[in-house]
Structure formats: structure tokens, C-alpha cells
Amino acid sequence: MTNHFDQVAQTWDNNPIHWERTHAIAAEMLKLIALKKDMNAMEFGSGTGLLSFALKEQFAGITLMDSSIEMNNQAKVKIAATETTHFTPLHFDLEKNDFTLETFDIIFTQMAMHHVKDVPAMINKFYGLLNPDGFIAIADLYTEDGSFHDSNFDGHYGFDPDLMKNALLNAGFTDPVLVPCFEIKRSDSNNTEKVFPVFLAIAKK
């Protein structure tokens, strides 16, 4: 999967849906979480940093963590071009390795968790990386029929809301809230429009 994202990194920001989805998620996060300017944040599966850039005024620092080196390189280009000084791009595979250099007040992620093999294990890692009273914010697909990706996809076909909430509770998070925040619309080969809703799940350590 990393190879796929390496291949599409340079054109990722050209898709207007990626921007629309990002801004919808950011707006919902601002509604549901009392963010503070001194918070230290991490975006997991950050890609080109779209969500981090949408929220860049909200945090003292953001670590942009991604296992795709080309996605991370694109984030670096944007960071340099915008002279953003409080972002730290980090090429790191959290699925395969433990991160121990720092902890965070909030971890957020969009459309990355359905690529993660062991979702409960990753949520447990998030819990361990958060400071007391820290927040997790996960935006991803509701359960879908498998048509969102091509036939080579080997991840999850979205998530059942109750199962996602239970995974957060089992990791130790409290008061999980899951709300719809965006719809991705696509036409299939028969020009029939399909709608793939996206949720935002919020919980506190």
C-alpha cells in the first residue's frame, strides 16, 4: 500500500474531493473538541498534510507521520513553500514500529485507518502516545460494499460505528462520539452515482 501512495503523492492535492473532505473534517473537529493553542498534535497517515494545514493555526506543533516517503516529501515541499515552522514531517511506519520520542495532546487522522491491518492494536498505540486528557480524532468510511477501492485493495471496507466505538472504549478511551461529516460521491461504470459517507469519531483519554 505504501508503494501506491508513493506513486500518487505528487498529484494527490489535485483532487478537489480531498480538499472538500479535509475541510469538512476540520470543521467538525472544531465543533467537537475544545482545541487549545498550546496543544502538541500528531497527524497519523498524514499524506501531503492536508488536514494538518487546515488546522495549522490551532496547535503549537504538529508532527506529520506517514509511512509513505513520497507523501512525506510532498508535505515537506508544502511546509517549505509556506514557511510553516511548527510542522515536523516524519517518515515512520507506526504499524511496524513503536514511537517513543514524544507524546501528544491530540492525534488525528483522515481516511488512513481502513488501510491499517490491526485497527484495535493501532488504537492502543494511539492511547499510549497521548498525554493525560488527550484526544483521538478518527475520520474514515462507514461500512461499504467494497466498491470504494479497486480489486487490489486488501484493507477494511469501512467501519461499523458501534465496533469503532467499542475499539476506542477497549483501548481505555472515554465518551466516544461518532458523527457523519462528509459524503464522497462517485459514479460507477454504469454512470450510477454511489455515495460513501465518512464519519468522525472523537474520544478522550
Q: What is residue 152's predicted lDDT score, i.e. its pLDDT?
A: 81
Average pLDDT of span 153-167: 93
Q: Is the pLDDT of residue 6 over 80?
A: no
Q: Residue 183's beta-bridge partner residues?
A: 197
Taking the C-alpha atoms of residue 154 and residue 114, their distance in angstroms, rounded to an integer, is 9
pLDDT per residue as tens digits for the range 85-135: 999 999 999 999 999 999 999 999 999 999 999 999 999 999 999 999 999
40's CB contacts (< 8 A; 6+ apart) are: 59, 60, 61, 63, 102, 103, 104, 105, 131
Average pLDDT of span 126-155: 92
The domain defined by 2-204 folds into Rossmann fold (3.40.50)
Eight-class DSSP state of 45: T
* Mean pLDDT taken over the chain: 93
Domain ranges of the chain: 2-204
Reported confidence tier of residue 203, pLDDT bands at 50, 70, 90: very high
Taking the C-alpha atoms of residue 160 and residue 66, their distance in angstroms, rounded to an integer, is 25
Report the amino acid identity of residue 80: A
Taking the C-alpha atoms of residue 130 and residue 69, their distance in angstroms, rounded to an integer, is 24
Contact 104, 63 (CB under 8 A): yes
Backbone angles phi, psi at 201, to 5 degrees: -105, 130
Q: Is the pLDDT of residue 1 over 60?
A: no
